[in-house]
Amino acid sequence: MAVPTFVDRVVLRVSAGRGGNGVASVHREKFKPLGGPDGGNGGPGGSIVLRVDPDVTTLVDYHHSPSRRAEHGGHGAGGHRNGAHGSDLVLPVPDGTVVMTEDGHVLADLVGAGSEAVVAQGGRGGLGNAALASARRKAPGFALLGEPGEERSIALELKVVADVGLVGFPSAGKSSLIAALSRARPKIADYPFTTLVPNLGVVTAGDVTFTVADVPGLIEGAAEGRGLGHDFLRHIERCAAIVHVIDTATMETQRDPLGDLDVIERELAAYGGLEDRPRLVALNKIDVPDGRDLVDLVRGDLEARGLQVFPVSAASHEGLRALSFAMARIVAQARADKPVVESTRIVLRPTAADGGGSFEVSPLDDGTGHPAWRVRGDKPERWVRQTDFSNDEAVGFLADRLNRLGVEDRLLELGAEEGDTVVIGPDENSVVFDFKPMVDAGASTLGSRRGEDNRFAEERDSVARRRAIDEAYAGRGEGEARADVARRLRGQGPASEDGDDGVEVVWDQGEVWSEDED
């Protein structure tokens, strides 16, 4: 199987790096009790960046390797150590590359050396518990997870950046002409469609240097897919001028220069977008006697149409100087009229699910008949991705954030009741909750041990005993210690489940005491 060397359209799958997780850590050091949280943040993931490189002329590398992935961010660590940043993956592309969605929507047009487009943004790193600490939550027992990086499929289409484009029928001598005008050495043969990919040549005329593109030949009906179709006409979209190369020595008796010109113009009109380009006509192969005679017959008709006509011969180089200087004049004028193009950096960001607002809540039909609601919004969806659902305190923190945002109030306004299903996010990546309005929020978590949230706790026997001791201790007698309160309550209530004579009291710091240790 032939290996392509020129590729001007590929579909690329890009995956940015995931952000590193934050860490929950407490500083421990001799003679420093209550050292406080010191968990570091996760590092951001690497992004995928397309950058114009003048030394790259084709997209063939992405044809062979259509999937690219950036580096993930490092996880945080104790001692306020943040995770490493994931390295960006920079992909070189040719000048004139157009970035599109798979359905053809243009995202970026990269023209000029150094122009960049961030096509997939790396995920943000999660915060460690040191960053989450506040006056009300002094020692969080949780950290936030890193966000996943963006993933998308994009289409890259190359539109060669040339100043002049050569168009014409197959075997009109376009490749021979570009070889005579420049040092380019395209494939030349005596059969149609020798040129299957665009060729570029650099031409110097006086003090003007410009590039000329030779595109594969057009035939009548190319708009309907005959021959090579219109696929390669995009390579002359950026040209300042179009040169019609007309064969004056064709062996096909049914063709003539005026008819060839009309056919090519109809195909250019069917493609569209090229009507404003200046036209020049190069009557090629005048080194053939019959060709020179034909020039004398048609030149007046072509000039009557307002076209500049140049009889040339790629073989003997006759007339090429006049043609090259005519092209240089058009190119110089186009450059003078064109604004200066500076290198740009474009960041592609997906449209927010809520259109840029906070969030939106809508009824959801889940097919079960049970009341359900869907919450969409940039903030709620991002917060869900950052939450470690194995940690009750982290879930409580998420509930507080959603409550402060107004999600709970909005659900109640729409008629949601306790036990209804609440879905946050799109169908393909959603999290499902049972709606339970939180009466207490924020400060209620202060009575919990690290990693726990009283609002999600089951009413276990040990929890009930601890709460009873806490309540009785608030009204203790003079000189009565906590162990005395526990002993007094034990005398009023049943024995512990394990049959031990001592009453177990669990402190918030995790220390375990019993009346036997008093």
502 belongs to an annotated ligand binding site: no
Is 343 annotated to bind ligand? no
Q: How far apart are the first and last CA of the chain?
A: 86
196 annotated ligand binder: yes
Q: What tokens does 32 get?
A: 């420093």
Q: Is 389 annotated as a binding residue?
A: no
Cβ neighbours of residue 129 closer than 8 Å, sequence gap 6 or more = 22, 23, 24, 25, 37, 39, 139, 140, 141, 142, 143
174 appears as a binding residue in the annotation: yes
Element (H, E) at 221: none
Closest among 338, 282, 289 to 312, alpha carbons compared? 282
Burial (CB < 10 A; 0-12, 13-18, 19+), residue 38, is: buried
Token digits of residue 297: 């017959």
Residue 4 buriedness (CB in 10 A; 0-12 / 13-18 / 19+): middle
Q: Establish whether 170 is an annotated binding residue.
A: yes
Phi, psi of 472 (to 5 degrees): -70, -30
- For residue 286, say whether it is annotated as part of any ligand binding site: yes
Number of H helices and E strands in the chain, helices first, is 11, 21
Is there a binding annotation on residue 215? yes
173 annotated to a ligand binding site: yes
Helix (H, G, I), strand (E, B), or coil: what is residue 480?
coil
> What is the spatial distance between Cα 18 and Cα 16, in angstroms, rounded to a whole number?
7
Q: Cβ distance 135 to 213 under 8 Å?
A: no
- Please, where are the H alpha helices in 156-228? 174-181
Q: Is 193 annotated as a binding residue?
A: yes
315 labeled part of a ligand binding site: yes
Which one-letter DSSP state was computed for residue 25? Answer: -
168 assigned binding-site residue: yes
**Residue 211 annotated as lining a ligand binding site:** no
- Annotation-wise, does 195 bind a ligand? yes
Please indicate if the annotation marks 197 as binding a ligand: yes
Has 351 been labeled as part of a binding site? no
Does residue 287 have a known ligand-binding role?
yes
- Is 339 annotated as belonging to a binding site? no
Give the strand pairing for 151-158 and 208-214: unpaired
What is 34-68 written as a DSSP string? Answer: S--B-PPPPPPPPPEEEEE-TT----HHHHH--EE
User: Residue 352 has what DSSP assignment?
Assistant: P
245 is in an annotated binding site: no
10 Å CB burial of residue 438 (0-12, 13-18, 19+) is middle
> In angstroms, rounded to a whole number, what is the distance separating the alpha carbons of residues 300 and 392?
88
209 is in an annotated binding site: no
* 194 has binding-site annotation: yes
Q: Is residue 186 marked as binding? A: no
Annotated binding site: 168-175, 193-197, 214-217, 284-287, 313-315
Annotated binding site for Mg(2+): 175, 195
Annotated binding site for GTP: 168-175, 193-197, 214-217, 284-287, 313-315
